[in-house]
Amino acid sequence: MKILIADDSRAMRQVIAHMLREAGFRGHHIVEAADGQQALAAAHAESPELIISDWNMPAMTGIELLQALRAEASTTPFGFVTTEVSAEMQQQAFDAGAAFLIGKPFSAEDFRVALVDLLE
């Protein structure tokens, strides 16, 4: 499976990829993007089967990325890993079509629970 990880922090992209492996999701091809615009271009070019995005990124936020993809009729499973997890943000994410929202700090178990039905 091809997974797109979008976060403006390279270190955080690597931590998320590591957490996926720690959660038992190994052998997936990881594509990285440093902001929402790069992620949108990568989604078009790479056709990922899952997108994991930060909420706050330069150029295009994660929620704007999700809204742009859904406006194009993309049904690719999409989730957030973000420091802000207010009830309002959760509602906005799910209303826009997000499959999950994981708050930072997170554990491998958080990824396992969020992704057990999406990844094999």
List all residues 6 or more positions away from 2 whose beta carbon is below 8 Å from its beta carbon: 28, 29, 31, 46, 47, 48, 49, 50
Q: What domains lie within the chain, and their CATH numbers?
A: 2-115 (3.40.50.2300)
Q: How far apart are CA 113 and CA 27, in angstroms?
A: 18
- Sheet containing 100-103: which strands, arranged edge to edge? 29-33, 2-6, 50-53, 78-82, 100-103
Q: What pLDDT band is residue 60 in, cutting at 50, 70 and 90? A: very high
Low-confidence winner among 10-14, 65-69, 87-91 (lowest mean pLDDT)? 87-91
* pLDDT at residue 5 in the model: 98
Q: How far apart are CA 22 and CA 25, in angstroms?
A: 7
- Which residues partner with 52 through β-bridges? 5, 79
Identify the three-state secondary structure at position 85.
coil
pTM for the model stands at: 0.95
* pLDDT at residue 22 in the model: 94
Q: What is the largest CA-CA distance in the chain?
A: 35
